[in-house]
Amino acid sequence: MRLSSSLVRPLALVLLVVSVAGCSWFKKGAKGDYALAPEARPLEVPPDLTLPSTSGAMQVPTAAQATSSSVAPAAGGFNVAGSRDEAFARVGDALAGVDGVTIASRAQLLGTYDVSYEGASFLVRVAAVEAGAYVSAVDPRGLPATSPAATKLLAALKAKLGG
């Protein structure tokens, strides 16, 4: 059984129309924000990513708080009379007079001497406090130096400076 060409053409036309239009019959309409372009969609922030409280983040300390908290006495440190600059110069002279001390560098602006003593390297720090200047030893991590060499050097400095 052969189909005539007069029947094949309309049947092919109907199949073509159904195949092209059929997609829209089964398609569900996109609703809400997801129908928008990605750039136009609102930003979604997960609930656990809320901003922390920043109410006390930028409190500026008073002058008394800054002086006392920035130079907290470290274990083994001592006070010296006079200004920080005077004490820095006196500490430098005292360090030069201690046998076995090697001063690698000095930074007057920071108030520090980078020293080596009995195989240990640490900083000798001179900081301004209300009672004059405070001399302490600081290890490479920024913590108070508690090594036997640092303790011994601070004791020698204290004896030379009368702190």
- Looking at the structure, do residues 76 and 148 belong to the same domain, yes or no? yes
pLDDT tens-digit profile, the chain (163 residues) = 566 777 778 888 887 777 776 655 555 655 677 778 888 888 777 777 776 666 666 666 665 544 444 444 445 789 998 899 999 999 999 999 889 999 999 999 999 999 999 989 999 999 999 888 999 999 888 888 888 999 999 999 998 887 6
- As given in the structure block, the two tokens for residue 48 are 């656990």
Determine, yes or no, domain membership for 97.
yes
Position 127, amino acid: A
- Structural domain contains residue 10: yes
At residue 154, what is the residue type?
A: L
Q: Which of 117, 93, 88, 115 is nearest to 104 (CA)?
A: 115
Residues 71 and 143 in one domain: yes
- Mark out the alpha helices in 27-113 (DSSP H runs): 63-70, 84-96
Amino acid identity of residue 126, one-letter, is: V
User: What's the rounded Cα separation, in Å, for the pair 111 and 68?
Assistant: 17
Structural domain containing residue 35:
5-42
